[in-house]
Structures are given as C-alpha cells and as structure tokens.
Amino acid sequence: MLLALLIVLGLSITMASRQYDLVELRATEQALSQQNEALAQEIEFHQAPQDLAIRASQLGMVTSPSRATINLSTGEISGVPMAAQEPSEATDNLIAPPALADTQAYEEASIRAEEERKKKEAEAKEAEAKEAEAKEAEAKASASATASASAAPTSSAQPTQAPADR
C-alpha cells in the first residue's frame, strides 16, 4: 500500500512539473510567434517599392526619364535611352513603418522621417528668409524711388514758386 502511495505521489509530482514545463513552452512558442510576425512585417516593409525608392534616392540613385531594353540575342536596342536626371523634388515615404516599435525597420523609418522633417523645416526657413530679403529689397527700392521722386518735385517747385512771388 505504501509503495502504491509513493508511486502515485511520484507520478503526481512528475505530472505537475511537466505541466509547468508545458506552460513555459507555450509561452515561449507565443513569444517566438510574435517575434516571427514582427520580422515578417519588417521584411515586407523593406521590400515595399516606396521604401526601396526612398533608400535608393538616399544613396544618390535617380530614375531614368525613359526606358530602353537590349535584346541580348540580336543586340538590338528598343526604346530611346536617355541619361538620368536629378529629381526636382524629394519623395516621401508613402507607407507607414511597421507597427511594432521594437523593430529595426521602425527605428530606421523614424530616423528617416525625422531627417526629412528637419530638412523640410530648414527649406521652409530658407524660403522665408529669401522672401523677407526680397520684401526688404523691394521696400528699399520703393523708398529710394519715393525719395528721388519727392526730391525732384521739390527742386522744380521752388523755381516755379519763385517767379510767382516776384
């Protein structure tokens, strides 16, 4: 009887420890599943055409205005090849970064977004400064024109008044 009780107690302890192991393994499985999802989302973010275009432009690559292809078997060129030109405006990222803030793609996208924001602010300040300079130059020009215009009638007004006074 005592031996049966010890066997049941041993089996109960083993079952309880295995149950704790099972709960721990399920938690690990869930964490790995979430990590896998985050990595898949990060890969999709990096493969998105908009992100690839932005990273290419950051490396100095530009798009060609026309496309031309070479048929390797015949050596014929179809289309009109033209040299690539510098784009006139910066492109913005049209897709949002991955939703999980702990991914590398999120960090890189956030850094790029902050750099673009600072760049736009600097361009806006520069444009405001140029506009202020233009207004100041215009004001100086109008002031000098007004001063020269007012000086000319004054000098011509005095001789005209002088004969009338005589």
Q: Is the confidence at residue 161, as pLDDT, over 70?
A: no
Q: Supply the pTM of this predicted model.
A: 0.41
Cβ neighbour number for residue 106 with a 10 Å cutoff: 19
CB crowding 150-162: b at 16 or more within 10 Å, else e: eeeeeeeeeeeee
Greatest mean pLDDT range, 37-41, 113-117, 160-164: 37-41
| Domain ranges for the chain | 1-60, 102-149
Cβ distance 55 to 17 under 8 Å?
Answer: no
Q: What is the pLDDT of residues 81-133, one digit of tens each?
A: 887 777 665 555 555 655 655 666 667 777 877 888 898 899 989 989 898 88
